[in-house]
Amino acid sequence: MFNIGDKVIHPAYGAGSIVDIAEKQIGDEQRTYYVIELLMQTGTLMVPVTRANDLGLRAPIKTPQPVMKVLSSEPTELLSDHRKRQELISIDIRSGDVIKISEVVRDLAHRDRENSLTEADLRLYRQAQELLAGELSLSQGTEVEAARDQIKLVMDAAHADDTELQPD
């Protein structure tokens, strides 16, 4: 159970905070909803309290270290078939799992350095970056822009290490 003021992550909509717990009459049934103000999008989201766990509503990660470890690790080579690749990436993003989203960001950043992102890949890359930046922002109590910069710095440092190891 979350309380007003708690920071939360919705797997599809990303980071936000609970601004109200509201009762709504739907037909003959009275339901209780978390009212979430979204960090990365305009507006609010209403999540039924009884379904919050099933929908994957969760608290943000406590520390950024696991994310930073993934971002700085060796990328996984993505499938060359763009339809299958994008389907698998979409599944990872929709999972709401911060580690899977971090892997998507890492792997698509690597593929982007190779200049081989399609428009759909680029859209998924941006979506994953925004979800990750929102989560890091909440977990560290920083602005979203600072979280974006942090992701970029870790990725650039990991890439710099790769280029230093390559022979001339």
Q: Which of 37, 55, 73 is the last residue of a domain?
A: 55
For residue 2, being part of any structural domain is answered with no
Q: For 2-43, how does the pLDDT look when each residue is reduced to its tens digit (9 = 90+)?
A: 999 999 999 999 999 999 999 998 889 899 999 999 998 888
Please check whether residues 104 and 148 belong to one and the same domain: yes
Q: Tell me which residue of 75, 78, 73, 98 sits closest to 88, measured CA to CA.
A: 78
Cβ atoms of 47 and 96 within 8 Å: the answer is no
Query: Looking only at Cα atoms, what is the longest distance across the chain?
Result: 73
For 117-155, b where at least 16 C-beta lie within 10 A, e where not — what string?
Answer: beeebeebbebbbbbbbbbbbbbeeeebeebbebbeebb
Q: At 22, which CATH number?
A: 2.40.10.170
Against a cut of 0.85, is the pTM above it?
yes
For residue 29, being part of any structural domain is answered with yes
The domain total for the chain is: 2
Strands of 29-38's sheet in order across: 7-10, 14-26, 29-38, 44-48
Residues lower than pLDDT 50 in the chain: 164-168
Please check whether residues 94 and 19 belong to one and the same domain: no
For residue 150, being part of any structural domain is answered with yes
Please check whether residues 17 and 43 belong to one and the same domain: yes
Q: Find the domain containing 34 and state its range.
A: 7-55
Q: At 89, which CATH number?
A: 1.20.58.1290
